[in-house]
Amino acid sequence: MTKMVIGLSSCSIDKLTGVGVMLSGAAADDMDVEVFVLVNAARAFLKNNPAEEFMSDTCLTVAEFKSACEKVSTPSWLQFFEMTKEMTNIKINICSLAGKLAGGEKKEDFIDLVDDFCGIGEYLDSAKEADIHISV
């Protein structure tokens, strides 16, 4: 089985949605997937996320992006992640440093999609073994 590893370091809604699309494609291709949530991305996975959603370097505002997604019936990034988790073997890991920087000290501080905390070494080892490695 093909294994894809994603290093996710952005909590930007457009990049989270892009990763969600990649996850759904991986699920359709019956891939195993590991997502390593790094640096700023951990904020998006906190329960009761206090951070406002924002966009990366695009010409759209968050409201415009959400409106465009709704217009073409595109799920939210979170819905993509949830659907994919039901369809394929996907593991979502929060880098322990990223979790602490975001204000989360333990797994229970994050949404239920999160499987585990890990160190950067686990991410690097997994990336070395992956058939496909993507960093976002």
65-79 pLDDT per residue, tens: 889 999 999 999 999
Q: Phi and psi dihedrals of 43, rounded to 5?
A: -60, -35
For the cut 80, the answer to whether the pLDDT of residue 58 exceeds it is no
- Of 15, 24, 13, which Cα lies nearest the Cα of 135? 15
Average pLDDT on 106-112 reads: 93
The domain locations on the chain are 3-135
Residue type, 135: S
pLDDT tens, residue by residue, 7-36: 999 988 889 999 999 999 999 999 999 999
State the pLDDT at residue 48: 81
Q: Is the model more confident about 50 or about 72?
A: 72
State the chain's mean pLDDT as an integer. Answer: 91
Total residue length of the chain: 136
Average pLDDT on 89-102 reads: 95
pLDDT band at residue 96 under the 50/70/90 scheme: very high
Average pLDDT on 73-98 reads: 94
CA distance 94 to 12: 16
Q: In sequence order, which residues have a C-beta less than 8 Å from that of residue 18 and are 6 or more positions away?
A: 136
Q: Give Cα separations from 116 to 5, 57, 78 (angstroms).
A: 15, 30, 18
With respect to CATH, is domain 3-135 assigned 3.40.50.10170?
no
Contact at 8 Å (CB) between 133 and 26? no
For the cut 70, the answer to whether the pLDDT of residue 52 exceeds it is no
